[in-house]
């Protein structure tokens, strides 16, 4: 007899499992998840060591100190910012707050997988707008044309993972003006490598949501901390849909130390930008086409050998991410330090020849 189990919701039955390759990465050069490749500021570790004690761990987290310091750092009022368990939770609570079963949600393709993931869980009617085939540019006109009065949410990664391309603030503003009924989320996970931000426009647009993360530049992906910004009234609603202790106390503490070490952060950004230029030069020498990026990663058009190259790099201890399922022949490589890129490029050259 078949075992009887509870029947999942239709929306969940329709989903394909999503399991990024997160295991067994510890001793490899991690150029596969766009993380900080050298780790967080040593001040973060010191701060945690000084402040952490059994009593603090025994207590449910309190966020007021962290919220105050982070709001000041980001230049917003404390009620214009919500701490979240990574950007992923920001996406989830935004969708839970604004999107019902069957609602119209617009995302771009290819883009960060979790937009589709949470929209699917919610049972949304998802429409995907393709990045332009020409240089994978942001499809602004196509997106504006696709807007409907009943569009409930639009999720944009700026700059976009995995294409590395970005839309200007003027472009974002056109979307905001044309979609007054939609929650427009601008995910700025890679902001620091690009410099374009919509945060300064929160006051002007009641439909704007911006997210930032501590997973990339700040080197704290394992902590799971993100921030969602919007007008206070919006965040009061989103907060109602969020579990009260989803951010753990270590993350809330660590973020304060992370934003204080501005020298460490700006040094890393400068290093990555130099390493990205170095990578471009070598890729051109090798004759491997790539897309110019505004993030700490570059998309390479390897062609038919994409999976072989990914596998042989892994054998050499270098992890990169294949994207052939959405961009034929493409592999995405995280940009780390110049030394790390030299190692990657040397292995790539060896394999390529």
Ligand X SMILES: Cc1ncc(COP(=O)(O)O)c(C=O)c1O
Where does residue 42 rank: exposed (0-12), middle (13-18), buried (19+ CB within 10 A)? Answer: exposed
| Of the residues 34, 36, 41, 165, which one makes contact with ligand X according to CB under 6 A | 34
Q: Is 157 in the site for ligand X (CB under 6 A)?
A: yes
Q: What would you report as the CA-atom Rg of the chain, rounded to the nearest whole angstrom?
A: 21
| Spatial contact of 166 and 135, defined as CB atoms under 8 Å apart | no
Q: Give the nearer residue to ligand X in terms of CB position, either 137 or 286.
A: 137
DSSP-derived secondary structure for 125-185? EEEEEEPPTTTT---HHHHHHH--TTEEEEEEESSPTTT-----HHHHHHHHHH-TTSEEE
User: How far is Cα 242 from Cα 222, in angstroms, rounded to an integer?
Assistant: 20
Q: Is 189 in the site for ligand X (CB under 6 A)?
A: yes
Query: At its nearest, how many Å lie between ligand X and the CB of residue 87?
Result: 3
Joined together, the tokens standing for residue 58 give: 């025994």
User: How far is Cα 64 from Cα 279, in angstroms, rounded to an integer?
Assistant: 42
User: How far is Cα 205 from Cα 226, in angstroms, rounded to an integer?
Assistant: 21
Q: Give the nearer residue to ligand X in terms of CB position, either 215 or 294.
A: 215
Considering only the stretches 82-90, 141-149, 163-171, 333-341, report the one whose residues sit in contact with ligand X under the rule CB under 6 A: 82-90
Q: Nearest Cα to 202, choosing from 59, 122, 82, 303?
A: 82
User: How far is Cα 153 from Cα 106, in angstroms, rounded to an integer?
Assistant: 6
State the chain's maximal CA–CA distance in angstroms.
65
Query: At its nearest, how many Å lie between ligand X and the CB of residue 114?
Result: 7
Q: Is 139 in the site for ligand X (CB under 6 A)?
A: no
Query: At its nearest, how many Å lie between ligand X and the CB of residue 189?
Result: 4
Which residues contact residue 140 at a Cβ distance below 8 angstroms, ignoring those fewer than 6 apart?
167, 171, 174, 175
Write out the binding residues for ligand X, residues 207-226 only, by CB under 6 A. Answer: 213, 215, 221, 226
How many chain residues bind ligand X (CB under 6 A)? 13
Q: Is 192 in the site for ligand X (CB under 6 A)?
A: no
Query: At its nearest, how many Å lie between ligand X and the CB of residue 287?
Result: 28
Query: At its nearest, how many Å lie between ligand X and the CB of residue 11?
Result: 21
Q: Give the nearer residue to ligand X in terms of CB position, either 34 or 207.
A: 34
Helix (H) or strand (E) holding 297: strand 297-301
Strand pairing category for 318-319 and 208-213 = unpaired
Query: At its nearest, how many Å lie between ligand X and the CB of residue 35?
Result: 8
Q: Is 88 in the site for ligand X (CB under 6 A)?
A: yes
Considering only the stretches 84-92, 192-200, 239-247, 310-318, report the one whose residues sit in contact with ligand X under the rule CB under 6 A: 84-92
Helix (H) or strand (E) holding 209: strand 208-213
| Of the residues 187, 271, 322, 347, which one makes contact with ligand X according to CB under 6 A | 187
Considering only the stretches 24-32, 67-75, 81-89, 307-315, report the one whose residues sit in contact with ligand X under the rule CB under 6 A: 81-89
Q: Is 242 in the site for ligand X (CB under 6 A)?
A: no
Q: Is 161 in the site for ligand X (CB under 6 A)?
A: yes
Considering only the stretches 83-91, 135-143, 281-289, 300-308, report the one whose residues sit in contact with ligand X under the rule CB under 6 A: 83-91
| Of the residues 67, 95, 104, 112, which one makes contact with ligand X according to CB under 6 A | 112
Which residues contact residue 81 at a Cβ distance below 8 angstroms, ignoring those fewer than 6 apart?
67, 70, 71, 74, 227, 228, 229, 235
Q: Is 231 in the site for ligand X (CB under 6 A)?
A: no
The residue ranges that bind ligand X (CB under 6 A) are 34, 86-88, 112, 157, 161, 187, 189, 213, 215, 221, 226
């Amino acid at each position: 007899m078949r075992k009887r189990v509870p029947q999942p919701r239709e929306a969940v039955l329709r989903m394909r499992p999503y399991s990024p390759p997160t295991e067994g990465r510890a001793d490899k050069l991690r150029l596969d998840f766009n993380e900080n490749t050298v780790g967080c500021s040593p001040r973060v570790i010191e701060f945690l060591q000084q402040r952490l004690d059994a009593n603090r761990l025994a207590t449910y987290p309190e966020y007021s100190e962290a919220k105050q310091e982070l709001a000041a750092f980001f230049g917003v009022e404390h009620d214009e910012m919500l701490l979240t368990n990574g950007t992923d939770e920001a996406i989830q609570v935004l969708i839970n707050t604004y999107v019902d079963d069957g609602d119209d949600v617009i995302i771009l393709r290819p883009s960060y997988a979790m937009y589709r993931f949470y929209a699917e869980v919610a049972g949304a009617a998802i429409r995907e707008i393709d990045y332009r085939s020409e240089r994978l540019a942001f499809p602004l006109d196509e997106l504006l044309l696709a807007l409907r009065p009943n569009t409930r949410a639009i999720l944009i990664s700026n700059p976009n993972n995995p294409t590395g391309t970005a839309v200007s603030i003027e472009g974002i503003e056109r979307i905001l003006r044309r979609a007054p009924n939609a929650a427009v989320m601008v995910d700025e996970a890679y902001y620091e490598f690009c410099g374009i931000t919509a945060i300064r426009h929160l006051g002007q647009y009641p439909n704007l949501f911006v997210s930032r993360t501590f997973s990339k530049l700040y080197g704290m992906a394992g902590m799971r901390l993100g921030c969602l910004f919007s007008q206070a009234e919006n965040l009061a609603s989103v907060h109602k849909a969020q579990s009260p202790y989803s951010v753990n106390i270590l993350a809330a503490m660590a973020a304060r130390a992370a934003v204080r070490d501005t020298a460490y952060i700006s040094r890393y950004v400068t290093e990555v930008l130099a390493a990205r230029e170095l990578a471009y030069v070598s890729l051109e020498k090798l004759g491997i086409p790539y897309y110019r990026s505004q993030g700490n990663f570059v998309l390479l058009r390897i062609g038919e050998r994409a999976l072989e190259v990914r596998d042989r790099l892994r054998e050499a201890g270098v992890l990169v991410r294949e994207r052939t399922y959405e961009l034929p022949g493409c592999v995405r490589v995280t940009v780390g330090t110049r030394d790390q890129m030299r190692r990657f490029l040397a292995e790539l050259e060896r394999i390529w020849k």
